Amino acid sequence: MINVAVIGASGYTGLELVKILAGHPRFELAYVATSEGGMRLTELHPAMQGIFECDVHKADAAAVAASCELAFLALPHMTAMGFVKELMALGVKVVDLSADYRLKRETYEAHYVPHIDPENLEHAVYGLPELNREAIRSARLVANPGCYPTASILGLLPFTKYIDEDFPVFIDAKSGVSGAGKKCTTSTHFVSINENIFAYKPFEHRHEPEIREKLLLDSGKDFDINFVPHLIPATRGELIDAYALLKEEIDPIAVLKAYYADEPFVRIFENPVDIKACSGTNFCDIYAKVRGKKLYVNSSVDNIVRGSSSQAVANANLMMGLEENTGIPIIAYVP
Ligand SMILES: NC(=O)c1ccc[n+]([C@@H]2O[C@H](COP(=O)([O-])OP(=O)(O)OC[C@H]3O[C@@H](n4cnc5c(N)ncnc54)[C@H](OP(=O)(O)O)[C@@H]3O)[C@@H](O)[C@H]2O)c1
């Protein structure tokens, strides 16, 4: 067994990590931490009663290094990079779920804060297996992708060579409320979101530069990405509707099937997808349609599973020389 740690276990992605790791055949969840610690795991997450129990510690990098080979950081950005710096110096491999190591330094600093760990940022690998599988295998630090970028990039990747970059690409996205983390705000308050739907941060969301940068790195094309997310009254799940103009007419389903023929965690559908069919799983579900040269791409992930925690475990599997699918959830929470 390989000992691993979860730091930030009281959050939504932290809980999903605990759930996946509790049933993982090769990873032993040996260290669990929050900002203060001092309780048992089942006090934090009663759902784990009878399944997995341990002490929850106040997060400490030296204690992680003393017991674990790899740490999952389910922390807010900025907090994460402080821990990464310490853990890397202590020889612990890291999968960071925050945005701190996803972007080039100039992109990060333009949209977040000044970076305090440019040395590790330099060699961090963006953890989208379909894009970077070989680099992930030998990485010591993996930057787990954002939830919207996971669904958006996987939806658009197969089409980048056909899309006319002289025209904008529009991405209309919807997310369940867990995408905002556990802290309640005015917009995530039950009264605000129940039986409601609204856009937030149109053209200003931080996932827009992430989608743009990763598509540019892969395709060499600097697409004009225009991203508008919405909050919907669901606990989990994200749905992407992307629109672009093509240079030529194509059969989009044939393109998708050819591109993802060997990918275990991308499913191609002949009809529009929804957020239920991949809920609780590591699948990204994709459908696409064209009318003349107009392209519509429709993709879906569970934001706290494929959009963060199960993708993080798949990355850790690759980093530790295991099969990518070891312990990865594939049965959806349906109906
Ligand atoms: N939610 C999503 O759908 C999603 C998807 C992809 C990526 N992400 C990213 O993943 C990260 C975690 O997101 P989340 O939604 O799980 O957040 P969350 O629900 O707000 O949880 C954040 C966690 O961080 C812990 N924490 C904060 N400061 C800490 C410190 N100094 N030491 C130790 N623990 C500390 C909190 O512990 P306490 O309870 O003790 O304060 C809490 O467990 C974020 O960077 C987020 O952007 C989230």
**87/66 Cα distance (integer angstroms):** 11
7 lines ligand 1 (CB under 6 A): yes
281 lines ligand 1 (CB under 6 A): no
Contact 38, 30 (CB under 8 A): no
Closest atom of ligand 1 relative to the 98 alpha carbon: 45
Q: What pLDDT is stored for residue 106 in this prediction?
A: 97
Q: What is the pLDDT of residue 211?
A: 98
Second CATH level (architecture) for the domain 2-123: 3-Layer(aba) Sandwich (3.40)
Q: Is residue 147 annotated as part of the catalytic site, yes or no?
A: yes
Any atom of ligand 1 within 6 Å of the Cβ of 98: yes
Asked whether the bond before 158 is cis by omega within 30 degrees of 0, the reply is no
- Going from the Cα of 161 to the center of ligand 1, the distance in angstroms, rounded, reads 36
Q: At what angle do helices 309-319 and 129-137 cross, to 10 degrees?
A: 40
What one-character DSSP code corresponds to residue 178? G
The answer, yes or no, to whether any atom of ligand 1 lies below 6 A from the CB of 76, is yes
What is residue 295's predicted lDDT score, i.e. its pLDDT?
98
The per-residue DSSP string of 4-64 comes to EEEESTTSHHHHHHHHHHHT-SSEEEEEEEESS--EEHHHH-GGGTTT---EEEEP-HHHH
Whether residue 32 has its Cβ less than 6 Å from ligand 1: no
Tell me which of 68, 147, 278, 284 is the catalytic residue: 147
The residue whose CA has the least distance to atom 28 of ligand 1 is 35
Residues of the chain with pLDDT under 70: none
pLDDT of residue 134: 98
What's residue 265's pLDDT?
A: 98
pLDDT tens-place string over residues 112-164 = 999 999 999 999 999 999 999 999 999 999 999 999 999 999 999 999 999 99
Find the 180 Cα to ligand 1 centroid distance in Å. 10
119 in ligand 1 pocket by Cβ < 6 Å? no
Answer yes or no: is the C-beta of 182 below 6 A from any ligand 1 atom. Answer: yes
Whole-Å CA distances, 217 to 10, 124, 260, 285: 34, 15, 19, 23
Candidate from 34, 79, 178 with most ligand 1 atoms within 8 A of CB, to mutate: 34
Residue to substitute in 13, 150, 305 for testing ligand 1 pocket (most ligand atoms within 8 angstroms of CB)? 13
Does 2-123 match 148-303 in CATH topology? no
Q: Indicate the domain borders of the chain.
A: 2-123, 148-303
Candidates 6, 7, 10: which one to mutate for ligand 1, based on the most atoms within 8 Å of Cβ?
A: 10
> How far, in Å, is the centroid of ligand 1 from the Cα of 11?
5
**Which CATH number among 3.40.640.10, 3.40.50.2020, 3.30.360.10, 3.30.465.10 corresponds to the domain 148-303?**
3.30.360.10
Predicted local confidence at residue 53, as pLDDT: 97
Q: Give the position, in ligand 1's atom list, of the atom nearest the Cα of 76.
A: 45
Query: Which residue CA neighbors atom 39 of ligand 1 most closely?
Result: 10
In sequence order, the β-bridge partners of residue 291 are: 294
Q: Please choose from 35, 96, 147, 282 the residue to mutate so as to test ligand 1's pocket, defined by most ligand atoms within 8 A of CB.
A: 35
**What is the H or E stretch that residue 231 is in?**
strand 225-231
